[in-house]
Amino acid sequence: MRFHSDELTAVRRGHLVPEQLEDWVPSACAVVAEHLRHHGIAPTGYPFARWHPLPGGVIEAEAGFPVRAPIANTGEIEASSLPAGPVLAVWHTDPDEKLPLSYHAVQDWLETEEAVATGDSWEIYHDLPTCYRVGTRIEIVQPILFPTASPHRN
């Protein structure tokens, strides 16, 4: 558990079904990286992806990089941000097919510590993505809140 400061980002957005994320995220990060390079903007951190469930099984996904200052929106790249507040960060270093187990670990921790997820989580890719995959060192970040004092919390 840690505190995450508000972080400005440059992202590419898309409306997808969950099965498309695996291919979409690396290519979206590559497009954002090229945009930043072309405009002389250095990312301030690792690439990430975040998605928001929509009705009908569709998700609004955004993928990109944290940046120091707001960027101008273009047709393909938009300004966004990651929220400030307490977060639970869980590392995933197993093969990709085991990623759901790391999300289950987040849910188990929330239940054990009597915490509540306060927004959509995001994944930070500590292995720079290629146009084909996101790597194996993934940090899952979940914004949280403790609605009541929990005797289990350290």
Indicate if the pLDDT at residue 32 is higher than 70.
yes
Round to whole Å and give the CA distance between 10 and 5.
16
Closest CA to 65 of 87, 39, 96: 39
Round to whole Å and give the CA distance between 27 and 39.
19
pLDDT in tens, 113-133: 999 999 999 999 988 656 566
Round to whole Å and give the CA distance between 132 and 78.
22
Q: What dihedral do alpha carbons 125, 100, 154, 5 form, nearest 10°?
A: 30
pTM of the predicted model, to two decimals? 0.88
Domains and CATH numbers, the chain: 2-145 (3.20.80.10)
